[in-house]
Amino acid sequence: MTTKNKELEVFTFDQIKDEFIGEIGTEKRTRYERELQLEMLGEMIRKVRLERNLTQQELGELIGVQRAQISKLENNTTNVTMETILKVFGALKAKVNFNVELLNNNEQIA
């Protein structure tokens, strides 16, 4: 039994996203990137909350919302306003920076 050495083709993550999600600038790709950013924001809120040894209930009380709202925010299952995000990070004593770039009249939030 002999085996042949086959060379595998290698793709970058961007190439994979282009192929399966859509190229940069397409509606589907833009929606994917925004959802990913919101998911990362939720993870950051959870991480900082845990570092500050706060429960979801305690964080909710600090900003005047119920625990369920904090859970939804952390799990990216709700629409959230900038005001709420700023309140959450303010309560967590975390500095918030938003970077907005206009590229070819397309919005990008980083």
Residue ranges per structural domain of the chain: 36-109
pLDDT value for 103 = 62
What is the rounded CA–CA span in Å between residue 100 and residue 103?
10
pLDDT value for 102 = 61
pLDDT value for 71 = 93
The residue with greater pLDDT, 100 or 52, is: 52
Mean pLDDT lowest among 14-28, 32-46, 76-90, 96-110: 96-110
Residue 91's H or E segment, with its range, is helix 82-91
Mean pLDDT, residues 14-29: 86
**CA distances (Å), 110 to each of 38, 40, 48, 51, 90, in order?**
10, 11, 19, 23, 19
Calculate the average pLDDT of the chain. Answer: 83
In three-state secondary structure terms, 4 is coil
Q: Say whether pTM exceeds 0.85.
A: no
The residue with greater pLDDT, 14 or 102, is: 14
Place of tokens 């192929």: 19
pLDDT value for 18 = 86
pLDDT value for 107 = 54
Q: Which CATH number fits domain 36-109: 1.10.260.40, 3.50.50.60, 1.10.3720.10, 3.40.50.2000?
A: 1.10.260.40
User: Is the Cα torsion angle 103, 14, 23, 33 positive or negative in sign?
Assistant: negative
